[in-house]
């Protein structure tokens, strides 16, 4: 009996982890869609979602449908970020505060410039300047995913791109030092080079579930 209970508990945890991971990667989804992706019943998924909601890991908004009642679109809360890699958040925040005390804001800014310069060189070695923009973005996404950002590239019909990061492993550090996000936006611009324009729409630090960068070339801005 104990073994059976243990197996049932493990199965429940696996399903809940799968739900959280799917919401992280795919964004808001309803219970039916989740059930279809996971190969379980919608009723079982709803029960898991309500349990996750009690833990403040998920929440939902209602979306009107042509027929029937509005559908509940489930998404992760900011609290769910703790379930994913955090890039040694406590240590990083502590170091940032110490650097501010030791060197002041100007000194911290210089350190961020050095960090960005190293990142730019590293990314440019993979996203070569001679590559087409799409291949540059794919190479950049591969590098950022390896660092824990869960990045992907989406090509739009007008020739522009969305560069999406579904997780921020340095979120706590960015909260302590908002210039990190500013520098990263500049870093993307430098890596992608002249002839491109990078702007940020959705932003995890502002409460969104992901960071989304809109990349346009001179051709697509006309």
What is the mean predicted confidence (pLDDT) over 191-211? 91
User: Which CATH number do you get for residue 45?
Assistant: 1.10.10.10
Whether residue 222 is contained in a domain is answered as: no
**Is 112 in the same domain as 175?**
yes
Structural domain range at position 143:
89-217
Residue 168 contacts residue 144 (beta carbons within 8 Å): no
Report the distance separating Cα 149 and Cα 131, nearest Å: 22
**CA pseudo-torsion sign 60, 157, 134, 123:** negative
pTM attached to this predicted model = 0.70
In a domain, 147, yes or no: yes
Percent with pLDDT over 70 in the chain: 91
Tokens 């100007």 correspond to 106
Of residues 3 and 83, more confidently modeled: 83
Q: Which residues pair with 76 in a beta bridge?
A: 58
Q: Could you give the 3-state DSSP secondary structure of residue 120? A: helix
Q: What is the pLDDT of residues 181-198, one digit of tens each?
A: 889 999 999 999 988 999
Domain boundary among 35, 67, 83: 83
Give residue for tokens 């302590």. Answer: 176
pLDDT tens readout for residues 16-51: 989 998 998 888 999 999 999 999 999 999 999 999
State whether 32 and 122 are in the same domain: no
Cα(28)–Cα(43) distance, rounded to whole angstroms? 18
């Amino acid at each position: 009996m104990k073994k059976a209970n243990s197996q049932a508990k493990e199965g429940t945890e696996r399903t809940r982890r799968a739900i959280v991971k799917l919401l992280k990667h795919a964004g808001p989804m309803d219970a039916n869609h989740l059930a279809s992706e996971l190969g379980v019943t919608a009723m079982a998924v709803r029960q898991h979602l309500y349990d996750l909601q009690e833990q403040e890991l998920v929440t939902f908004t209602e979306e009107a449908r042509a027929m029937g009642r509005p559908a509940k679109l489930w998404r992760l809360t900011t609290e769910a970020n703790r379930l994913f890699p955090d890039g040694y958040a406590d240590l990083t925040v502590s170091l940032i505060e110490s650097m501010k005390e030791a060197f002041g804001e100007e000194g911290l800014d210089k350190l961020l410039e050095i960090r960005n310069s190293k990142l730019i060189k590293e990314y440019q070695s993979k996203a070569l300047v001679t590559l087409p923009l799409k291949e540059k973005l794919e190479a950049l996404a591969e590098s950022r995913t390896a660092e824990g950002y869960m990045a992907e590239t989406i090509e739009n019909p007008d020739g522009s791109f969305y560069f999406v990061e579904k997780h921020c492993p340095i979120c706590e550090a960015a909260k302590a030092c908002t210039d990190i996000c500013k520098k990263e936006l500049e870093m993307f611009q430098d890596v992608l080079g002249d002839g491109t324009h990078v702007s940020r729409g959705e932003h995890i630090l502002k409460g969104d579930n992901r960071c989304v960068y809109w990349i346009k070339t001179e051709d697509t801005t006309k």
